[in-house]
Amino acid sequence: MGDFGEIHRWHKRYPQFGTEPLPIEPCISPEYFALEREKIFRKCWLQVCRVEDVAEPHSFFNRHIEICNTHVLITRGEDGEIRAFHNMCSHRGNKMEWEAKGCAKFHDCKFHGWIYDSSGRLVDVPDEANFFNLDKSTLGLTPIHLDIWQGFVFINLDKEPAQSLREYLGEVADMLDGYPFDQLKLGYAYKSNLNCNWKIAVDSQQEAYHAVHLHRRTLGDIAIDQTNPFMHALDIRFMGPHRMISLPFSGDYKPSPTAAISERFAWTIKKEKDNFLDPNNLPPGVNPARADNWMFDIYLIFPNFWLAPFSGAFQTHNFWPTGVDTMYQEIKMFVRPPKTAGERFALEHAKCLNRDTWLEDFSTLETTQTVLGSGAKSHFILQDEEILMRHFYQMIEDYTGHGGRAAGAAGSRNAKAGVAA
């Protein structure tokens, strides 16, 4: 795992990402946002739900994807197949199914009563004979590419995706296959609308430098000790457009009075001897440094999906842009469902600590956005532990073909950093 005190160790390992400041422009520019819409969100695989969200035949899940100007309807047909469609009636374009989720063998458009089945086929048109040469077999819901990895349902809004989901995930799938995602169930979830650019929120969840200060009250005792006072990472890896950071817990950790109660009655973040993961058969990407003081890993699956495996739980974040300075963030924690009151208490205790920590995280996002457009500063200054941001903005540049500089500014950061391939 190397020496936590060694400076610039990630730059030494990954010199291709440079040491220069990052332009602020991509977080405030409407033109840049339009490029992200066309070149990223309409091209990349996007995680929208889990298979459990459409567990039964005819169950469905509705997702408004504002940045792509569409509603996506995920359904499980009578045949058990999960499919995705634009949730748009073929007749006059009304948004067809209005419920957020549910179970329905048929969906009827509220405008004129056209009826579709759970496989997207148009099955009934009122006063059909009065149309002209209407061929119902060609007028089903418009399909969207959908694929599934480890129970995570992804869609791709491109007409012909350049890669399959498995090809797109690449090394991420190699690293995490074998983690028992299917044994954990949704324990708690939050959602919040935020007045900030979506990348500001992503950035707040891809470095631990902030934890030392912003989370000093909530996570200080858990994550920081004298040997690693700035919570330097255990490992950092880059996999195509994706990236990961592996994070430690404190060697000096002493549970609070209530945390000690949780530890007595249930699994907690600090109680490793739960046999959930076989230490001799870990997926290669779970605690990749094989560190003794591992706490969890954060995988950032490009562009907007955050996935963190712990020993007995995993957490997801989805960052959904709705405008250049508006977005919403979904947070979900998947756990072993509590079976006893003691386990229920421990889950609530962990949830309250997580929630209060997220309230600290969210506190800086909108305040940042309110001054980004001031013009007072043109760049973010990054230290070595924030290298995931360098990779993220590099990928955004690569996909958009835009360096984030104001019009007329010379050269892209890509060129300046000497990234050739």
Q: Which residues would be at the binding site for another protein (CB under 8 A)?
A: 185-193, 217-218, 256-258, 261, 264-265, 330, 332, 335, 337-345, 347-349, 351-353, 355-356, 358-363
Contact predicate 191/343, CB 8 Å:
no
Nearer to another protein, 134 or 186 (CB): 186
* Cα(134)–Cα(365) distance, integer angstroms: 51
Neighbouring CB atoms inside 10 A of 408's CB total 5
Pair of tokens at residue 303: 């562009």
Pair of tokens at residue 291: 């560190």
SS3 178: coil
Nearer to another protein, 205 or 287 (CB): 205
Q: How far is the CB of 99 from another protein (least distance, A)?
A: 16
H helices of 14-115, where?
30-36
Q: How far is the CB of 254 from another protein (least distance, A)?
A: 12
Nearer to another protein, 158 or 330 (CB): 330
Nearer to another protein, 7 or 100 (CB): 100
* Cα(327)–Cα(305) distance, integer angstroms: 14
Contact predicate 326/201, CB 8 Å:
no
225-to-4, 212, 263, 274 alpha-carbon distances in Å: 11, 10, 21, 24
Nearer to another protein, 3 or 356 (CB): 356
Q: How far is the CB of 342 from another protein (least distance, A)?
A: 4
* Cα(67)–Cα(87) distance, integer angstroms: 15
Q: How far is the CB of 205 from another protein (least distance, A)?
A: 14
* Cα(22)–Cα(279) distance, integer angstroms: 39
Nearer to another protein, 80 or 257 (CB): 257
Q: How far is the CB of 236 from another protein (least distance, A)?
A: 28
Q: How far is the CB of 337 from another protein (least distance, A)?
A: 7
